[in-house]
Amino acid sequence: MSLIELATDGVFIPQRGLQKEELSALDGRLAEIRDSIYERDLSEFAAGTASDERLPLDTAFVDLPDRLLHTYKSDRDQSVLNDVLVVARRLSELVDRVVVLGIGGSYMGARALMESLCHPYFNELSRGQRGGYPRLYFEGNNVDNDALQGLLDLLLQGNEWQHVEDRWGIVPISKSGGTTETAVAFRIMLAKLRELAGGTVSDYIVPITGADGRLDQMTKGLGCGEMLEVPDGVGGRFSVLSAVGLLPAALLGIDIVRLLEGAKAMNEHFRQAAAAENIVLQFAAIGHLMDVKRNANIRVLSVWSKSLEAIGLWYDQLLAESLGKNQLGATPITTVNTRDLHSRAQQHQQGCYDKLIVNVLPGRHRTDALTVGHHEKNEDRLNDIADKTVPEVLDAAILGVDQALRGDDRPAIGIELGEINPYTVGQLLQMLMLATVVEGRLLHINPYGQPGVQAYKTNMDRNLGR
């Protein structure tokens, strides 16, 4: 299988773009950073020898796909992947709805996988049309009384708990269990679940958490025998390819082995390819140079499929929390085209020259192409394109935007997936995580941790009288 591709021609433009010499001048530094990730970061994490100024060092995500696949193939019964698949199979057979409770990285990766790899109206399909997999909902990611009550109304509308169509379960995700938004939602939903399931409530709960935290203790107290771990050294926004993202994906019937194989392929490319041909390093370098050399400190991830929007929102968190430190780091924005060409494109086309456009192109469509079609009265004046397909209309829009951006000296690059499937999505997620770490090192900041988030948490607790 081939790798996804990075198209960079659109950034090498007069005045506002980069010169190829600027990019090649970074090759040596990029190779040093890449080598230090493998030769220093991973070894220091494993040995616990990182100095205080290098902490946190949440670098275990880097080789996580390789390790998960290796143990699955060498000792399947003892592997994390097998645990995930077994739990997913049991829960899928037991319930028709699963609520994933988590905030930030504890849910954004799972949502990205669902939206990119499932039917766009998955939850609206019948159980048979879903292949027997449960509907999936996300809560505990906000403080919103009406949204939480609305979900409870949906879950509680059935009154025959003995029927699988009326049963639901909870997957609470929190490394510590101390995140207020998720903990509040879990307590409320647990009370409702207990009313329905009674003494068997533990069968309907699968926590993903760290050992000995509040969530771990609480669910053990409930008698939950199945618990999946958030791996040590994997921060929330880097956890999509751990059990945090893999269990929800498996519940949806997504091929998680293929997903990890895609990430592993990107790792191999990252380790082996020279800097000039390395799409991870080139993506990081272009973003960095546009930020510090051209003052393009707004990173617009422009996705050309609605199914990729949640990946964009996941990347928003990844970039913002990793690089937004010491008054540095680009500000991420996700747009969906062609939808947002009718809202934000005016600013992108004629506003400040402070943006790098990153087009994420889906490639081949996954369903049969729809044709515009002929209409005898032609009131809408579309008969001249009656034979065009929807993908052909999209291609014309993509080309039109590219021409418009170039015409006004607006830098843009493209990530070309070829097709949206578990293998290419695994590559994309791993590429963006690796590139974000590299970009942080180029800025001389620690891409791990998010100390700025603690301020609101402290104030919130004080305001609650805690």
List residues with catalytic annotation: 321, 342, 457
Tokens of 321: 């929390």
Closest CA to 296 of 337, 342, 351, 335: 351
User: Pairing between strand 331-336 and 355-361?
Assistant: unpaired
Q: Which single residue is written with the structure tokens 């709805």?
A: 97
Q: How many CB atoms lie within 10 A of CB 314?
A: 29
Distances from the Cα of 411 to the Cα of 278, 288, 302, 312, 417, angstroms: 20, 13, 13, 19, 20
Closest CA to 136 of 87, 90, 171: 171
Tell me the three state secondary structure of residue 454. Answer: helix
The set of residues, in sequence order, having a beta carbon less than 8 Å from that of 169 and lying 6+ positions away, is 91, 94, 95, 97, 98, 99, 134, 193, 204, 205, 206
Half-sphere exposure of 452 (CA within 13 A, CB side): 11
Torsion sign over Cα 282, 288, 289, 294: positive
Distances from the Cα of 169 to the Cα of 95, 251, 271, angstroms: 7, 11, 41
In b/e form, how buried is each residue of 273-288, taking b as 16+ CB within 10 angstroms?
bebeebbbbbbbbbbb
Per DSSP (E only), the strands in 292-366 are 298-303, 331-336, 355-361
DSSP string of 306-318, one letter each residue:
GGGHHHHHHHHHH
Q: How far apart are CA 247 and CA 86, in angstroms?
A: 10
